[in-house]
């Protein structure tokens, strides 16, 4: 009844549970980690979709943070086991290390709010001006809350180090308590090179759920990685595999996570949450883990079925009803910010758009700020305008003791020379205003850049169709 792990220790399968994951196959859950999994706070992750509102455009993207967290837990353990198998004696990896990394992988997303990153990046800044909040910081508070509430028996050193690992990629992460084995901090949330098992899992899982092919194979990296000078390094012949990791992530951001209709729905949900916040105290829940864990994606149904006669809640309900009926904010057009303007780029606001309206060309329509929504999408390879591969160290083969960096042009002249896009999209909140908003957006581009930066004009057919749909709707009423 006992299985031998890669580090030579034995594990009693009678005390473990196993689940069949659609990405990694059988995942074994050990008693230490089941103490956290079998709590209502961790089970809440079943009610948080991994990709937020993306399932309303890609119906298959209905997977949750629960299975992603199990996947990261499993890969974190596999990574430690791989390193231990090849370098265990040299590095002195112990059971403490393995448990700490796996716990960090399991709990790294326990502090996420509803609708993926939209909650912290779009909603909270609107209602809590200047308040600095991150799901990583909330994860640490949730972990402490779970341990206290459920009287979990765990080594305090494991808990402390796991929390540090969760914050390892954060700019405000704490000073690491380990003076050696720093490479363990790079497995779950890698602040040094951005290569970690969190990305390994979500890139494969999200691609599969959305029906998008992915040529990225994390297994190659797991098998060939090597610790040198307390840092995880990769064989030089895996350079293009690593490039594929970053490129695939960027493609997912472009085609899935920031799809124009996904962003339209997100803009509407943010507006709905802002209307409902005063009545339901949504943002206030981030102050107390005891309240925060009750908040999940069902908040929309909560708003929708509320009996309150509050005017602001009625506005929120109307927006949710529009989403249900696919009466979305209308995408008008977009442009990619010119490369030479990126460094000093400032976010464009609805006020910028309406101030660019030329009255005599808008059919008598006078736009107001509340008629327009602007979404600025940033897509990069994880390091802004820098090449993330410049920070990675490689080695020639397993006999060599030298690590080195590789310039792009030593590998291929087909690799990109620029690493970031900023795309500005404009939406009309009412379908009859598509034409006026599109024209004002064009005027803004000419005024700002001296030309129209968008690829093509908003189709006349779309402007006319939306106007006709609006007129027909009024006639029926």
pLDDT, one tens digit per residue, over 23-45 is: 999 999 999 999 999 999 999 99
Asked if 392 and 193 touch (Cβ cutoff 8 Å), the reply is: yes
Q: What is the pLDDT of residues 76-124, one digit of tens each?
A: 999 999 999 999 999 999 999 999 999 999 999 999 999 999 999 999 9
Per-domain residue ranges for the chain? 13-328, 329-407+415-476
pLDDT at residue 177, rounded to an integer: 56
CA distance 443 to 446: 5
pLDDT at residue 1, rounded to an integer: 38
pLDDT of 54 above 70: yes
**Other CB atoms within 10 A of residue 360 CB:** 6
- Collapsing DSSP states into helix, strand and coil, what is residue 423? strand
Q: Are strands 394-395 and 231-235 parallel, antiparallel or unpaired?
A: parallel
Band of residue 192 on the pLDDT scale cut at 50, 70, 90: very high
Band of residue 377 on the pLDDT scale cut at 50, 70, 90: very high
CA distance 212 to 206: 8
CA distance 202 to 325: 30
Which residue is catalytic, options 68, 112, 135, 243? 135
pLDDT at residue 476, rounded to an integer: 55
* Structure token digits, residue 48: 């948080």
Q: How many residues are there in the chain?
A: 477
What 8-state DSSP symbol labels residue 458? Answer: P
The architecture in CATH of the region 13-328 reads Orthogonal Bundle (1.10)
pLDDT of 4 above 50: no
Band of residue 2 on the pLDDT scale cut at 50, 70, 90: very low
**Other CB atoms within 10 A of residue 447 CB:** 11
CA distance 5 to 11: 7
Residue 135 among the catalytic residues: yes
pLDDT of 224 above 80: yes
CATH 3.30.70.2760 fits 329-407+415-476, yes or no: yes
CA distance 399 to 393: 16
Q: Which residues does 76 contact at the CB level (< 8 Å), separation at least 6?
A: 101, 102, 104, 105, 106, 187, 188, 197
Helix axes 311-324, 260-280, angle to 10 degrees: 150
């Amino acid at each position: 009844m006992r299985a031998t792990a890669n580090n030579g220790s034995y594990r009693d399968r009678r005390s473990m549970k196993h689940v069949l994951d659609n990405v990694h196959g059988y995942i074994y859950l050990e008693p230490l980690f089941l103490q956290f999994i079998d709590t209502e706070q961790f089970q809440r992750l079943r009610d948080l979709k991994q990709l937020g509102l993306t399932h309303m455009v890609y119906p298959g993207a209905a997977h949750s943070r629960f299975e992603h967290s199990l996947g990261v837990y499993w890969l974190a353990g596999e990574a430690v086991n791989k390193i231990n198998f090849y370098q265990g004696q040299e590095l002195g990896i112990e059971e403490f290390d393995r448990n700490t990394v796996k716990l960090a992988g399991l709990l790294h997303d326990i502090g996420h709010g509803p609708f993926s990153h939209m909650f912290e990046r779009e909603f909270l800044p609107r209602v809590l001006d200047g308040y600095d909040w991150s799901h990583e910081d909330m994860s640490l508070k949730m972990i402490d809350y779970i341990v206290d509430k459920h009287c979990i028996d765990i080594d305090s050193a494991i808990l402390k180090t796991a929390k540090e690992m969760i914050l390892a990629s954060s700019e405000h992460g704490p000073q690491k308590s380990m003076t050696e084995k720093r490479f363990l901090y790079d497995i779950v949330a890698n602040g040094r090179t951005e290569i970690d098992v969190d990305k390994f899992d979500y890139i494969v899982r999200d691609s599969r759920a959305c029906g998008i092919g992915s040529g990225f194979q994390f297994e190659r990296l797991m098998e060939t990685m090597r610790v040198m000078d307390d840092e995880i390094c990769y064989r030089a012949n895996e350079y293009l595999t690593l490039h594929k990791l970053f490129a695939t992530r960027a493609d997912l951001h472009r085609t899935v996570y920031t799809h124009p209709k996904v962003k339209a729905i997100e803009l509407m949900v943010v507006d709905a949450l802002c209307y409902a916040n005063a009545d339901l105290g949504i943002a206030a829940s981030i102050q107390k883990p005891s309240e925060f864990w009750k908040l999940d994606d069902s908040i929309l149904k909560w708003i929708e079925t509320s009996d309150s006669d509050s005017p602001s809640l009625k506005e929120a309900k109307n927006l949710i009803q529009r989403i249900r009926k696919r009466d979305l904010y209308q995408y008008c057009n977009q442009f990619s910010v010119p490369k030479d303007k990126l460094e000093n780029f400032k976010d464009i606001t609805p006020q910028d758009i309406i101030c660019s309206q030329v009255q005599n060309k808008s059919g008598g329509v006078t736009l107001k700020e509340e008629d327009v929504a602007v979404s600025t999408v940033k897509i990069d390879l994880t390091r802004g305008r820098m090449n993330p591969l410049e920070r990675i160290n490689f080695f020639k083969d397993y006999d060599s003791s030298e690590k080195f960096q590789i310039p792009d042009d030593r590998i291929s002249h087909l690799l990109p020379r620029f690493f970031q896009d900023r795309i500005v999209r404009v939406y009309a909140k009412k379908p009859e205003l598509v034409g006026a908003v599109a024209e004002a957006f064009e005027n803004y581009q000419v005024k700002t850049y001296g030309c129209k930066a968008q690829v093509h004009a908003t189709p006349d057919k779309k402007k006319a169709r939306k106007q006709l749909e609006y007129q027909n709707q009024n006639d029926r009423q």
